Every structure is written in structure tokens, then in C-alpha cells.
Amino acid sequence: MTHNDDLGKLLIKELTSGHHFELEPMKISVLLILICAAIFVQPAFSQETTFTHLVNLAEGDLNKDGLKDVAIVTQDTTDLKWPYRLQIFFGRADGKRDLMLTSMTAVEPQYPDGKGNGYIDANFDQLEIRNNVLSIKVQLTRGMFVHKFRYQNGRFELIGFTHGASDGVGTMSDMDFNLSTGDYVSKVERYDTGEVISHKKGKKLIRPLPGLEYFKPFSTDWY
């Protein structure tokens, strides 16, 4: 058991303490982040949980009410797959926060086939909240991808997808898909010479927009 798991258990213990905490700047210690995160979890999640390892936390306004909202990713390191759990909390005027969403599929497990089995190409990187949009960033062995969600129509909807990867032998592929408009741009080029092999623009309307509550990365060829 790691030190961070112990701190995660402290977070769970604080869930029903009734204490009020304010988030400090990002330079605060991991311990303070964990204690701050305690106020975001509602009574329904006050029971014992195996998702005690805090992986990442992001704050910002997601629903355009001028209040700080929070998104956190925790992990169950007792499971062979080390799965992740994404939770989003909306801030309230009284300083408390309401749990709005829990997803067990938006971030794929660290070890999809079990720890020690198979090759791991994708690793969760971080959450980011900017301009009322939640981004989930994942690093690849030779690239990255980002899914962007906006709170609209009473739920979080996928509005953007960016993917960039190298084949390791000189070719880079990039894809930028704006799901709100349906416009996409894809490009393949040689990163050693700069030669553009292909450059395509098109339109693909997906309606309704995918919701974060049931979202799973790469469940289709488009995102």
C-alpha cells in the first residue's frame, strides 16, 4: 500500500466530517488536495470504497454559473486492472458541492488485461477545465489524444476530439474533429522531411452528441 493510498483513505474518512474546505492554488501539497477533495463527495459515496488512490483533480466553472466545479479521477489499485473512476461535482453558493456524474468507462483502466499482462499503449495523463470545457487527456507511447466535453442540454456532451500519433518510422497522423459542427481535419505527414502525404477536410454529423455518462474512448472509428 502506497502513501498516496493512505491519503486517499483519509479523504474517504473526511466525507461525512462536515468540515468546510476551500481549494488552494495548485502548488499546495498532495495531502491538502486530498483533504480539499473530501467536500466534493456526497453522502451516497460516504461508504467504504476501493477507489482510494487520487490520481488527478481539476477545478473550474463547467456550467457557467460563476462557481468553481471540480472533476477528479481516482483509482482502485486493489483490482488487477487498476481501473479509474471519473467524478464531477458542481459548486454551490453555500460552498458545498453536488455530485453530478460518475463514470467508470470514460478513462480506460491502467492495465486493461490485468497488471503484468499485455502491452500498455495508452496511459491517462490529466484532466483540464478551461473555457467551461472538460478535457480528458491520454498519452500514447508515440502520441496523445484528447476528448472534450461541455455541459449542455442538461448533461456533458462530447464536442471535440483530437488525436495525434507517430508510427515510429517517420510518419505522423493527426485528427481534429469538432463534433459540435461536424467538421474534421485529418493529416498525414513525414515528420523527418515535412512532406505532407495526405490532407483531408470533411464533415461528419453525429447526433445526438455522445454523453459522458456512457462514454468509452474509441467505441467508434470517429472518437
Question: What pLDDT score was predicted for residue 5?
Answer: 59
**DSSP codes of every residue in 160-196:** EEEEEEE-SSSEEEEEEEETTT-EEEEEEEETTT--E
Nearby residues of 164 by Cβ (< 8 Å), 6 or more positions away: 143, 144, 145, 172, 173, 174, 175
Question: What pLDDT score was predicted for residue 3?
Answer: 52
Question: What pLDDT score was predicted for residue 117?
Answer: 85
Question: What pLDDT score was predicted for residue 35?
Answer: 44
Cβ contact 52:79 at 8 Å? no
Question: What pLDDT score was predicted for residue 30?
Answer: 45
Q: Splitting the chain (223 residues) into consecutive groups of 10 residues, what average pLDDT does each group show?
A: 54 38 43 45 52 97 98 97 97 96 97 86 96 97 96 98 94 97 97 93 97 95 93
Question: Model pTM?
Answer: 0.81
Question: What pLDDT score was predicted for residue 58?
Answer: 98
